């Protein structure tokens, strides 16, 4: 039996990693075997590409280079970890996936949505998440959270307008695909947000009820 593919999305500082851990714990309590992973990254080669993408170098990659690197990492991640896990019946919990590419490179960078969709088809075929949980938060609040945890990466250092464009694109995705995507208010304490996320997961996934 093929496993479920669940992605958690959101702008910077929304608590994706924290909430994926909460969801992972719930699956463990239900006896569901899962793989917890992230993008960009998740496999050996993909993690090397992640380092290239996030490093604060004097010379930044061109926007198209950035997009192609992200899909190169995704191709590796899918081939080496996600597809085998799903085929074996494991659930996959992924911190960001292709919605992030539409939001960051499409919304934030202004790259063509058609080009991103073409690469999505080439790399993923028909594979799409079964459920996408989008943590929503005012980017200024999220970036303030990020500033307290250490040196920002290249994306976190982008101007505030970039982050507002990314958020608007996530909201558009949620409106266009309500059967797959659910917006979750990421304001409040980690416990409050975690309870909201688990409530949605239980509503959408019969196996968790």
CB within 8 A of 196, min separation 6: which ones? 184, 185
CA distance 68 to 45: 14
The pLDDT value given to residue 150: 79
Q: What is the dihedral of CA 184, 189, 192, 197, to 10 degrees?
A: 40
Angle between helices 44-54 and 63-77 (to 10 degrees): 160
The pLDDT value given to residue 1: 64
Q: Where are the domains of the chain?
A: 5-208
- Residue 208, burial from CB neighbour count under 10 angstroms (0-12, 13-18, 19+): middle
Angle between helices 113-124 and 63-77 (to 10 degrees): 20
The pLDDT value given to residue 56: 78
The pLDDT value given to residue 152: 87
Chosen CATH of 5-208 out of 3.40.50.300, 2.60.40.10, 3.30.70.2700, 3.40.630.30: 3.40.50.300
Overall pTM > 0.85: yes
Residue by residue, pLDDT tens for the chain (209 residues) are 689 999 999 999 999 999 999 999 999 999 999 999 999 999 999 999 999 999 877 788 999 999 999 999 999 999 999 999 999 999 999 999 999 999 999 999 999 999 999 999 999 999 999 999 999 999 999 999 998 887 889 999 999 999 999 999 999 999 999 999 999 999 999 999 999 999 999 999 998 88
User: Cα angle vertex 98, ends 95, 102, to 5°?
Assistant: 120
User: What is the CB-side half-sphere exposure of residue 30 using CA atoms within 13 A?
Assistant: 19
The pLDDT value given to residue 105: 98
The pLDDT value given to residue 59: 85
């Amino acid at each position: 039996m093929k496993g479920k593919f669940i992605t958690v999305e959101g702008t910077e500082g929304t608590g994706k990693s924290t909430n994926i851990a909460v969801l992972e714990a719930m699956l463990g309590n239900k006896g569901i075997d899962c793989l917890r992973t992230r993008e960009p990254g998740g496999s050996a080669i993909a993690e090397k590409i992640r380092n290239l993408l996030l490093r604060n170098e004097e010379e930044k990659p061109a926007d198209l280079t950035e997009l192609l690197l992200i899909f190169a990492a995704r191709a590796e991640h899918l081939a080496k970890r996600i597809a085998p896990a799903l085929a074996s019946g494991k659930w996959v919990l992924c911190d960001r996936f292709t919605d992030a590419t539409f939001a960051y490179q499409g919304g934030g960078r202004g790259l063509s949505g058609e080009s991103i969709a073409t690469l999505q088809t080439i790399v993923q075929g028909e594979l799409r998440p079964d459920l996408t949980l989008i943590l929503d938060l005012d980017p200024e609040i999220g970036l303030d959270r990020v500033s307290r945890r250490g040196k920002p990466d290249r994306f976190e250092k982008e101007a505030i307008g970039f982050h507002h464009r990314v958020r608007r694109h996530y909201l558009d995705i949620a409106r266009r695909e309500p059967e797959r995507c659910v917006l979750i208010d990421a304001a409040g304490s980690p416990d409050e947000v975690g309870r909201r996320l688990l409530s949605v997961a239980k509503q959408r996934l019969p196996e968790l009820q």
